[in-house]
Amino acid sequence: MSYYRYFPLWKTLLEGSGAEVVLSRRTGKSLLENGVRHCVDDICVPVKLYYGHVLDLKDRVDSLFVSRVVSVEKADCDTYTCPKLIGLPDMIKSSLEGLPPMIEFVVDIQNMSLKTSAKKLAKDLGARAGTARKILSRSLDVQARYEAELLRGLTPEQAMEKVFEGGNGEHEGAAVGERNVNIALVGHEYLIHDPFISHNLPRKLKSLGANPILMSEVPQEVLEKELCRYPEISWSYEKELLGAASYFLGRDDIDGVMLIIGFACGPDSIIGEIINREVRTPLSPPLTTLVLDEHTGEAGVATRIEAFVDLIRHARERQ
């Protein structure tokens, strides 16, 4: 589930240690259905997806790489990601049969740096101390470049292509203001960028002549400044949503904000309410909430997006 966050780091690290990286196939209907079948019914869609991806991989690999993201920021108070991201490996381990041995990558910034985590991983993989250091610095480097590309407005897919293949990631006009309708997308990246579950939301927006603005473009400092205006939140990823929503809702070059939340997502149910009630003001650009689950049809998403874009265009014509 942290593919869109850390994959460049992992890939470099794993390959540097002599492992071959096998990715699960892109999400598709049967993959998702398989995940749903092995999962608790009322859990959030992304976890169901994750199960699907694990099942897709399990017979094709010698060991399974899973991440456990406990905390992603260093703060004086307790911060967390989401209980499910913390307990993910435990769930997988106990509920799926016939899994290959697991390699666990723990991100717990509150207690150890990303570098320490990466070092542990390199050691687990059996890299010698000397090479390990080299691999380590290279992977952290690649990761930093990847994050920089995201800030420039590339989608994770484009950014990865650029970092790994040296392509230019065809940076098509993501700068604010170039197209006529700027729509900011706020939501977990594993929802927005999973082409199956979000039905290619960013691309759909583009085909309607709208310009999707991604959360990953907003620099950390800006997010933090926005967050100062609200009482503390303990979930780091939800903080990003709140900060980004607050930033986008306060700008006049953003024409609309779409809040993308996953059905049965615990933190989103709370943060969605906070964004709607504490952040939105009568002056904010329109805000709409799109709830995605495994039953959301492509047509449903398309209609919602079209309606939203139309609404913005009409409102503008009237002015």
Partner 1 sequence: MKVSFPHMGNAYIPLSALLSNLGAEVIVPPRPTSKTIDAGALHAPEFVCLPFKVNLGDNLRALQMGADTLAMVSGMWACRFGYYGRVQHRILRDAGFEFESILLGREGVGAVYNKFRDTVDGNLTLSWLRAFRAFKRKAEAMDAIEKSAREKRPYERDRGSTSAAMDEGLRLVHEARGLKEADRALDGARELLDGVELEDVMEPPLKVAVLGEIYAVLEPSLNFDIERRLGEMGIMPFPVMSVYKWLFRPLKTDPSILIEERRARRTARPYIAYVLGGEEHQTISGTINAARNGYDGVIHLYPFTCMPENICRAILPRLESDFNIPILNLCLDEHASPTGMTTRLEAFVDLMLQRRRSRSKG
- The residues of the shown chain that bind partner 1, judged by CB under 8 A, are 39-44, 68, 70, 77-80, 82-84, 86-87, 89-91, 94-95, 231-235, 263-267, 269-270, 272-274, 277-278, 291
End-to-end Cα distance, the chain: 43
Minimum gap (Å) between residue 68 Cβ and ligand SF4: 12
Asked if 241 interacts with ligand SF4 (CB under 6 A), we say no
Among 268, 272, 290, 308, binds ligand SF4 (CB under 6 A): 268
Output the CA torsion 289→293→299→304 (10° steps): 0
Asked if 255 interacts with ligand SF4 (CB under 6 A), we say no
Asked if 267 interacts with ligand SF4 (CB under 6 A), we say yes
Contacts of 12 (CB under 8 A, 6+ apart): 135, 138, 139, 142, 143
Rounded distance between C-alpha atoms, residue 73 and residue 234, angstroms: 10
Rounded distance between C-alpha atoms, residue 146 and residue 143, angstroms: 5
Q: Name the one range near ligand SF4 by CB under 6 A: 2-10, 79-87, 158-166, 307-315.
A: 79-87
Minimum gap (Å) between residue 103 Cβ and partner 1: 15
DSSP 258: E
E strand or H helix at 40, and its extent? none
Of 154 and 261, nearer to ligand SF4 (C-beta) is 261
Q: Name the one range near ligand SF4 by CB under 6 A: 78-86, 121-129, 153-161, 290-298.
A: 78-86
Minimum gap (Å) between residue 69 Cβ and partner 1: 10
Buried b / exposed e along 233-252 (16+ C-beta atoms within 10 A)? bebbbbbbbbbbbbbbbeee
Query: Which residues would be at the binding site for ligand SF4 (CB under 6 A)?
Result: 44, 46-47, 82, 84-85, 188, 262, 265-268
